[in-house]
Amino acid sequence: MGQILSNPVIDKEHHSGADLLTAFGLCAMQGWRMSMEDSHIVEPNLQAESDDDHIAFYSIFDGHGGAGVAQFAGEKVSGILRRQESFQKGNLTQALIDTYLATDEELLKDPILKNDHSGCTATSILISKLQNALICSNSGDSRTVLSTKGYAKALSYDHKPTLLSEKSRIIAADGFVEMDRVNGNLALSRAIGDFEFKSNEALGPHEQVVTCVPDIMRHTLDFDADEFVILACDGIWDCLTSQECVDLVHYGIKQGDMSLNEISSRIIDTCCSPTTEGTGIGCDNMSITVVALLRDSETTEQWFDRIRAKNYDCPISFELKRKVIYSYYEFPANESVFEITTKKPQEKFHQDANGKYDDEDTDNMEVDDTDADENTSNSMKALGGLPLEALLGNGIQINTGDNGGGAYLTGNLSDMLASFRKVAAGGRLDNGEDADDDHADAEQDNTDEHDETHN
């Protein structure tokens, strides 16, 4: 599985909101991984300044090989979409294709990211009130699913190198598929970024070994049948089928006291592995957005009542599904099956999408970090850009001095130094290696780890 933490980072990033067209709840969690490489977009009203149409835009970006490309996409794709001529003319299908291509072009203009070896999958939806349509674009193995009359309808399919259509393009571009991976390396065949697989100058972007060009599916909305949309990274889909995820959302709705935010959070709890000793399933970053499809003038509470009134039979609960996924694990009888993702580790904190540690809500949306320990010292939250949870283990602990004397580390000195070497950037190491080189090795290990979980 590559490098993983001794304990998962379970601080969750939450966003929720509602507008006249949609309501949503998003939850994202780093989990067992050394860093968080997912990002997202939640835009219930993409054209707030225009009366031409009401358009909602949601995306999930799942990074691999680093967080650079995914973070860029999360921050820039909304603006890139608005600038597309096709979007301004109302051609939303072409606009999504143009946006993915333009994002690659913008990345290549960035002096740092053009040489970045990371990439990200992308799954996005546009919902248009004027066109009464839902348009989904997808590149990679993140996935979007629609619940219609309680059943899961696929709005995307996973781009794997073993698919005949994908393999044909890869081979035609002088690539190959080995061990179900592109050139024996990448376990998905479409992505934003990943420019090392897009270097054939004789071919267009549609024809490269790895292409960012998305598949598009357009769905005409029927509010009597259509209920909600789920967008999630493969960390969720490794654990749940599309129908199981739809069933779990309906189960949460049926409880009567769970928000979309809480349902998203509980699905992540269900999927996060209780241990690293299993198959590796459930040890990935996890991000999920549940988008409610609102009728005209319908509030979120009225939507909940309407969906609950359908009285679907829910075959699984969060607790039961967790036990089924991790049937090899013996959950302690005196603890909740969600203990690993709800208990407080020794030190916790909230980190925003830009890697800053604070409690400010820069997006003017609800950000829930109530699981975090607010007494954590700001000076002790990260080293070399990685959380101190990544350094803890082998008896290393963070202690707080008496009378506000500040925080300090205790534990085995050699283990502590070995942990520091893996994340400290700059300077020289004791053995004469550059710390940057050592950090790069760790990043490569993290790349290998991510690819392995895409099997």
Lowest mean pLDDT among 129-138, 241-250, 436-445: 436-445
Q: Confidence band (pLDDT; 50, 70, 90) for 421? A: low
Assess whether pLDDT exceeds 60 at residue 407.
no
- Report the phi/psi class of residue 191: left, alpha or beta, with left for phi > 0 and alpha for psi in -120 to 50: beta
Question: What is residue 363's predicted lDDT score, i.e. its pLDDT?
Answer: 37
Question: What is residue 192's predicted lDDT score, i.e. its pLDDT?
Answer: 97
Question: What is residue 226's predicted lDDT score, i.e. its pLDDT?
Answer: 98
Mean predicted confidence (pLDDT) in 73-81: 97
Mean predicted confidence (pLDDT) in 75-104: 97
Question: What is residue 379's predicted lDDT score, i.e. its pLDDT?
Answer: 33
Question: What is residue 417's predicted lDDT score, i.e. its pLDDT?
Answer: 52
- 49-61 per-position pLDDT tens digit: 777 899 999 999 9
Mean predicted confidence (pLDDT) in 125-144: 97
Residue 93: partners with Cβ closer than 8 Å, 6 or more residues away: 135, 216, 218
Assess whether pLDDT exceeds 90 at residue 415.
no
Q: What domains sit in the chain, N to C, each tagged with a CATH number?
A: 4-323 (3.60.40.10), 378-452 (no CATH)
- 300-330 per-position pLDDT tens digit: 999 999 999 999 999 999 999 999 999 999 9
CA 191 to chain centre: 14
Assess whether pLDDT exceeds 90 at residue 95.
yes
Assess whether pLDDT exceeds 60 at residue 345.
no
Q: Report CA torsion sign: 74, 347, 26, 33.
A: positive
Assess whether pLDDT exceeds 60 at residue 373.
no
Question: What is residue 49's predicted lDDT score, i.e. its pLDDT?
Answer: 75
Assess whether pLDDT exceeds 70 at residue 110.
yes
Assess whether pLDDT exceeds 70 at residue 435.
no
Q: What phi, psi does 38 have (nearest 5°)?
A: -95, 155
Mean predicted confidence (pLDDT) in 131-150: 97
Residue 207: partners with Cβ closer than 8 Å, 6 or more residues away: 169, 172, 173, 200
Question: What is residue 256's predicted lDDT score, i.e. its pLDDT?
Answer: 94
Question: Which of 159, 129, 127, 2 has its CA nearest to residue 59?
Answer: 127
Of the two residues 452 and 24, the one the predictor is more confident about is 24
**What is the model's pTM?**
0.77
Residue that has been written with the tokens 């979120």 in this structure? 300
Q: How far is CA 33 from CA 10, 222, 261, 443, 448, in A?
A: 11, 40, 22, 12, 12
Residue 31: partners with Cβ closer than 8 Å, 6 or more residues away: 8, 9, 10, 235, 272, 273, 282, 283, 284, 285, 286
Question: What is residue 136's predicted lDDT score, i.e. its pLDDT?
Answer: 98
Q: Regarding beta strands 226-232 and 286-293, do their DSSP bridges make them parallel or antiparallel, or are they unpaired?
A: antiparallel
Say which DSSP state 210 is in. S
Residues making up the chain, counted from first to last? 455
Question: What is residue 61's predicted lDDT score, i.e. its pLDDT?
Answer: 98
Question: Which of 69, 124, 9, 97 has its CA nearest to residue 386?
Answer: 9
Of 156-165, 388-397, 441-450, highest mean pLDDT: 156-165
Q: Please answer whether residues 25 and 269 qualify as being in contact, where contact means their C-beta atoms are separated by less than 8 angstroms.
A: no
How high does pLDDT run on average in the chain? 82
Amino acid in position 242:
S
Question: What is residue 358's predicted lDDT score, i.e. its pLDDT?
Answer: 39
Assess whether pLDDT exceeds 60 at residue 446.
no
Question: What is residue 340's predicted lDDT score, i.e. its pLDDT?
Answer: 80
- 379-403 per-position pLDDT tens digit: 334 444 444 444 444 444 444 444 4
Mean predicted confidence (pLDDT) in 94-106: 98
Q: What phi, psi does 144 have (nearest 5°)?
A: -125, 135
Assess whether pLDDT exceeds 90 at residue 106.
yes
Distance separating alpha carbons of residues 292 and 8, to the nearest angstrom: 30
Question: What is residue 213's predicted lDDT score, i.e. its pLDDT?
Answer: 97
- 209-261 per-position pLDDT tens digit: 999 999 999 999 999 999 999 999 999 999 999 999 999 999 999 999 999 99
Instruction: Please list the residues that pair with 428 across neighbouring strands.
Output: 434
Question: What is residue 127's predicted lDDT score, i.e. its pLDDT?
Answer: 98
Output the six-digit token pair for 130. 């004027």
pLDDT above 70 as % of the chain: 75
Distance separating alpha carbons of residues 320 and 337, to the nearest angstrom: 9
Question: What is residue 445's predicted lDDT score, i.e. its pLDDT?
Answer: 47
